[in-house]
Amino acid sequence: PTKLRISEALSGAKLGENVKVQGWIRSVRRQKSNLFLHVNDGSSLQSLQIVAGSQLSDPLLTFGSAVEVTGVLKESPHQKQPFELEADQLHVAGECNPMDFPFKIKERHSLEYIRQFPHLRCRTNAFSSLLRIRSEATTAINSYFKENGFVQIHTPVITSNDCEGAGELFQVEVKNEEGENFFSVPAFLTVSGQLHLEVMSGAFTRVYTFGPTFRAENSQSRRHLAEFYMVEAEVSFTQSLEDLTKVMEDLFKSATEHVLAHCAEDVDLFHKHVTPGHRDTLDVMMKRRFLVITYSEAIDILSRSSQKFAFPTNWGCDLQTEHEKYLVKHCGNIPVFVTDYPYDLKPFYARDNQDNPAHTAAAVDLLVPGVGELCGGSLREERLDLLRARLEEYLDLRRFGSVPHGGFGLGFERYLQCILGVDNIKDVIPFPRFSNSCLL
């Protein structure tokens, strides 16, 4: 028999032929003369119906057990599915006692509940959909960059720099055989690949990286993880922040369109059952041009608001999640770029606008509904004399044909939260790491 994935079987491939499928039982129904199983193998949200004569019935065929089935694919007489597999062999490859299994058949459990079972949540519809969407979104993002002439750079995971200067580093402490520090210098897990991209942007006008980043943020928030995936791009010969905001908006829309086209069923599961109502929010994001306001305008809007904030706002303060969410609502739930933050709020690399009396940097954050900050970026300070004052170490990058450039980082998990409407970032990553938690 030909081995088929269940998505292939459901598309009608190999109709009438002898095939073999493998997967996990999602439901069992025993009748007098027949046995009906639904088997899922992760290739699709849908399960394949297996019909078998009761002589193949086995008490080990239970919810959760792993099975291998051979038989003939036929058109199904039932409305619900177009095809079913008429089994002539059923083999239980892995037993499962359904009484011990934490998820019950046909019950819809909350994302919060299934999060307690990091080894089993991939067996639920919602989380397996999430993982297929996450995989497709990765492809979508890589395709966007490929189509737009960006070269992918594998920036290192271990580094000696603290790019953001926020001191949220995980130190890598390894000793060599002599008991000395392995790298001779203090080494850390990367918080951002930006500085390595900046190096490459001295030879490539468009580069990007997409990998894990690490921050020891002691935050139990719904949008921070200790390990998250970041998409970072760097563009040389930039004129203004518009060169970056255009890439961010195009990337968001193009990747999302791709996901909607290739994972329609999985996305629908979220928009209909997990986060109902979110589809309308997403449709608005996709249809409308993103807005642009300056930080000063944002502060105006916030100080005119009648809403009481836990953190009061005044020019110079950093925007908190509550402020970011308010601004997005105020803008009609359309993603909004906030530009030109106070110089002192941004890392050393942000380009000085040299303005007066409000001293700002050419930095931009993209704020989106439900999440707040999705991207952070800036033009980079390429002027040696201005940088010298700020950081000695950064200087050598500017000595050999330095051109205006800029870039941004997009938090991949926050992107998934944004398109799916998922409230907690721990529900969009296979194995979340955050303070006091490193399960599995």
411 binds Mg ion, rule: CB under 5 A? no
Backbone angles phi, psi at 239, to 5 degrees: -100, -40
Q: What is the DSSP string of 55-109?
A: GG--TT--TT-EEEEEEEEEE-SSSS-SEEEEEEEEEEEE---TTT-SS-TT---
The H or E element spanning position 411 is strand 405-411
Backbone angles phi, psi at 15, to 5 degrees: -60, 135
Please state the closest distance from residue 166 (CB atom) to ligand 4AD, in A.
Answer: 8
Question: How many residues interact with ligand 4AD (rule CB under 6 A)?
Answer: 22
Q: Where are the beta strands (DSSP E) in 220-343?
A: 227-236, 291-294, 336-342
Sites for ligand 4AD among residues 199-218 (CB under 6 A): 215, 217
409 binds ligand 4AD, rule: CB under 6 A? yes
374 binds ligand 4AD, rule: CB under 6 A? yes
Residues 328/144, Cβ–Cβ less than 8 Å: no
Nearer to Mg ion, 64 or 376 (CB): 376
Contact of residue 271 among Mg ion, ligand 4AD, none (CB under 5-8 Å per partner type): none
Please state the closest distance from residue 224 (CB atom) to Mg ion, in A.
Answer: 11
Nearer to ligand 4AD, 42 or 211 (CB): 211
Near Mg ion by CB under 5 A: residue from 347, 376, 407, 421: 376
Near ligand 4AD by CB under 6 A: residue from 164, 266, 324, 382: 164
**Residue where the block lists tokens 């580093």:** 169
Q: Which two tokens stand for residue 239?
A: 């004129």
**Residue where the block lists tokens 């007098």:** 32
Separation between Cα atoms, residue 382 and residue 198, nearest integer Å: 11
Residues 60/104, Cβ–Cβ less than 8 Å: no
Q: Which two tokens stand for residue 169?
A: 């580093």
Nearer to ligand 4AD, 63 or 415 (CB): 415
Please state the closest distance from residue 93 (CB atom) to ligand 4AD, in A.
Answer: 38
342 binds ligand 4AD, rule: CB under 6 A? no
Sites for Mg ion among residues 6-45 (CB under 5 A): none
Contact of residue 49 among ligand 4AD, Mg ion, none (CB under 5-8 Å per partner type): none
Contact of residue 230 among Mg ion, ligand 4AD, none (CB under 5-8 Å per partner type): ligand 4AD
Contact of residue 38 among ligand 4AD, Mg ion, none (CB under 5-8 Å per partner type): none
Per-residue binding letters, 413-432, with ligand 4AD (x by CB under 6 A): xx------------------
Q: Which two tokens stand for residue 113?
A: 């509940």
Please state the closest distance from residue 324 (CB atom) to ligand 4AD, in A.
Answer: 10
Sites for Mg ion among residues 218-257 (CB under 5 A): none
Per-residue binding letters, 281-320, with ligand 4AD (x by CB under 6 A): ----------------------------------------
Residues 345/319, Cβ–Cβ less than 8 Å: no
Contact of residue 374 among Mg ion, ligand 4AD, none (CB under 5-8 Å per partner type): ligand 4AD
421 conformational bin, left if phi > 0, alpha if psi -120 to 50, beta if neither: left
Please state the closest distance from residue 145 (CB atom) to ligand 4AD, in A.
Answer: 14
Nearer to ligand 4AD, 90 or 366 (CB): 366
Backbone angles phi, psi at 12, to 5 degrees: 90, 10
Strand partners, 172: 187
Nearer to ligand 4AD, 370 or 409 (CB): 409
**Residue where the block lists tokens 């200067």:** 165
228 binds ligand 4AD, rule: CB under 6 A? yes
Near ligand 4AD by CB under 6 A: residue from 44, 190, 192, 245: 192
Contact of residue 163 among Mg ion, ligand 4AD, none (CB under 5-8 Å per partner type): ligand 4AD
407 binds ligand 4AD, rule: CB under 6 A? yes
380 binds ligand 4AD, rule: CB under 6 A? no
**How many CB atoms sit inside 10 A of residue 393's CB?**
10
The H or E element spanning position 83 is strand 83-94
Contact of residue 86 among Mg ion, ligand 4AD, none (CB under 5-8 Å per partner type): none
3-state secondary structure of 218: coil
335 binds Mg ion, rule: CB under 5 A? no
- State the number of CA atoms in the 13 A half-sphere of 236 facing the CB: 18
Separation between Cα atoms, residue 79 and residue 83, nearest integer Å: 10
Strand partners, 410: 231, 375
Strand partners, 188: 159, 171
- Report the Cα–Cα distance between both ends of the chain, in Å, rounded: 37
162 binds ligand 4AD, rule: CB under 6 A? no
Pick the closest to residue 377 from 333, 330, 339 (CA basis): 339
Sheet containing 171-172: order of strands:
158-159, 187-189, 171-172
Binding residues for ligand 4AD, rule: CB under 6 A, are 163-164, 192, 194, 215, 217, 224-225, 228, 230, 232, 373-377, 407-409, 411, 413-414
Binding residues for Mg ion, rule: CB under 5 A, are 376
